[in-house]
Structure 1
Amino acid sequence: MGDLLKSMTVSASGLMAQAQRLNVVSQNIANADTPGYQRKQSEFQQMFDTFDGSDGVAVLKISLDDSPFKKIYDPTHPLADTTGNYDGSNVNTMIEVADAREAQRSYEANLRSFDNARQMSRSLLELLKR
Structure 2
Amino acid sequence: MSDPLLAAGRVAATGLAAQSTRMRIIAENMANAQSTGMTAGDRPYQRKTVSFEAVLNPYSGGQGVEIGRISHDKALPIVRFEPGHPAADKNGYVKYPNVSAIVEMADMREANRSYEANLQIIRQARELVTQTIDLLKG
**2:137 pairs with 1:129:** yes
Describe the SS at the equivalent of 1:82. coil
Does the 8 A contact of 2:33 with 2:101 survive in 1? yes
Residue 22 (structure 1) aligns with: 23
What runs of 5+ residues in structure 1 fail to find an aligned partner?
none
Quote how far apart the aligned CAs of 1:126 are: 1.3
Cα deviation, residue 51, structure 1: 2.9
Question: Sequence identity of aligned pairs in percent?
Answer: 38
* SS of the residue 2:94 aligns to: strand
For 1:8 and 1:82, the matched residues in 2 are separated by 57
| Secondary structure class of the residue paired with 2:10 | helix
The amino acid across from 1:19 in the alignment is S
* 2: CA distance, partners of 1:50 / 1:30: 37
Q: Are 1:60 and 2:68 matched, yes or no?
A: yes
Q: What RMSD over aligned residues (CA atoms) do the two structures have, in Å?
A: 0.9
Q: Kindly state the Cα deviation for residue 50 of structure 1 after the two structures are TM-superposed.
A: 2.1
Look up the match of 2:108. Answer: 100
Moved more, 46-55 or 36-45: 46-55
Q: What is the SS of the residue equivalent to 2:51?
A: strand
The residue correspondences of 1:1-130 to structure 2 (distance < 5 A) are: 1-35=2-36, 36-130=44-138
- What is the rounded CA distance, in whole Å, between the counterparts of 2:86 and 2:6 in structure 1? 57
Query: How many residues are matched?
Result: 130
Distance in 1 separating the partners of 2:33 and 2:124: 38
Is the 2:10–2:60 contact (alpha carbons within 8 Å) kept by the matching residues of 1?
no
Which sits farther off after the overlay, 66-75 or 45-54?
A: 45-54
Q: Work out the CA distance in 2 between the residues paired with 1:45 and 1:8.
A: 18
Q: Following the alignment from structure 1 to structure 2, what is the Cα–Cα distance between the partners of residues 50 and 8? A: 14
Q: How many Å separate the matches in 2 of 1:54 and 1:68?
A: 40
CA distance in 2, matches of 1:113, 1:50: 20
By how many angstroms is 1:8 displaced?
Answer: 0.2
TM-score, normalization by structure 2 = 0.91
What are structure 2's unaligned runs of at least 5 residues? Answer: 37-43
TM-score, normalised to structure 1, is 0.96
How far apart, in 1, do the equivalents of 2:29 and 2:69 lie? Answer: 16
* Deviation beyond 2 Å, 4+ runs, structure 1: none
